Amino acid sequence: MRHFIENMPKAELHVHIEGTLEPELSFALAKKNNIALPFSTPEALIAAYDFHDLPSFLKIYYAGMSVLIEEEDFYRLTWEYLEKAASQNIVYAELFFDPQGHTTRGVAFETVITGIHKAQQDAKEKLGIDSKLILCFLRDMSAESAMDHLKMAEPYLDWLIGVGLDSDELHNPPLKFKDVFALARQWGLKLTMHCDVNQKNTLEHIGQVLDDIEVDRIDHGVNALESESLCEKIKAKQLGLTVCPVSNRFVVQSLTSNEIKKMLEKGLLATINSDDPAYFRAYLNENFMALQEEGNFSKEELLTLAGNAFKVAWLDTKEKDSYLDKLNNYGQKAVA
């Protein structure tokens, strides 16, 4: 199964580029930028990854960003993720970035997006991995700040495929960002939002992303299973759900393998993703592996999960079909 998962062509649709910052790179950038880290070694930094819920994770995640200062830092961060992704047979990725995590530290929007974009271009050319970029707003900041950042992105619309919403969901419902997402839609961007697992008012929030924001995808969204009517809407709209098993194990103490099985049974387009792989110490293959081990998923089920990611990716039909053909060929050979 390990071999089958490793060699399977995959897409990743839910990965925060800042969440791919490996401790070794963190130390290298801290040295270059003359930033003092409160740890003596990368191992000590990993040992301090003590998260048990969303807020305790976010605290460490935002502190980690402090070493990212120059365009070349964002380039290196992105390049190293894409290099790792290519080595895991990820052929296509949609990357989130959190500009407010940088502009609030005095790093210009232009610096961030240019570094990321250049690495994406080079990775396509040199590693053959295709990727797109999603601007994520921090929902614990104001709607005005989100709007300001959307406007900062206007000169770079060609570099973006969509907008998302992440960070602390408590008291920060989707509706808070209705105007920002409406403008992003007008500008031709795709829309997605995090509906993190086991959050307060989660069913209300999932309802809002479906009915008020009218998203094109939902990040996590696992709790939708508690409502038959939400499941029906998600299915009718053919919306993808980007589930992140190992991340869930950290923040809600469950890999949600039962829930992922249920999604498949209901015909929902669940996909498997790594979220913040450097922090959760698991990239996409490790997520598939953990899920398979716990839930005893068959090869056919794993192929369905991988296929769902290509189906709900923000690609044109021709590109989707080409990736799906590649996956089908792989499946036929591997299952035969």
Give residues in contact with Zn ion (CB under 5 A): 275
> Which is closer to Zn ion, CB of 9 or CB of 19?
19
> Strands, E, within the chain: which ranges?
10-16, 90-97, 130-138, 162-166, 190-195, 217-220, 240-243, 269-272
248 contact partners, CB below 8 Å, separation of at least 6: 197, 220, 222, 254, 255, 256
> How far apart are CB 22 and Zn ion at their closest, in Å?
18
Residue corresponding to tokens 């992303």? 209
> How far apart are CB 36 and Zn ion at their closest, in Å?
29
> Which is closer to Zn ion, CB of 8 or CB of 243?
243
> Which is closer to Zn ion, CB of 57 or CB of 109?
57
Residue number, nearest CB to Zn ion:
275
**In this structure, what token pair is assigned to residue 247?**
């991340």
> How far apart are CB 221 and Zn ion at their closest, in Å?
11
> How far apart are CB 275 and Zn ion at their closest, in Å?
5
> How far apart are CB 95 and Zn ion at their closest, in Å?
11
143 contact partners, CB below 8 Å, separation of at least 6: 176, 177, 179, 180
> Which is closer to Zn ion, CB of 167 or CB of 285?
167
Helix (H, G, I), strand (E, B) or coil at 307: helix
In whole angstroms, give the CA distance from residue 277 to residue 58: 14
> How far apart are CB 244 and Zn ion at their closest, in Å?
6
> Which is closer to Zn ion, CB of 259 or CB of 275?
275
Cα 273 vs. chain centroid, distance in angstroms?
Answer: 7
> Which is closer to Zn ion, CB of 217 or CB of 331?
217
CA angle 258, 89, 280 (to 5 degrees): 50
For the chain, the first-to-last Cα distance in angstroms comes to 14
In whole angstroms, give the CA distance from residue 133 to residue 135: 7
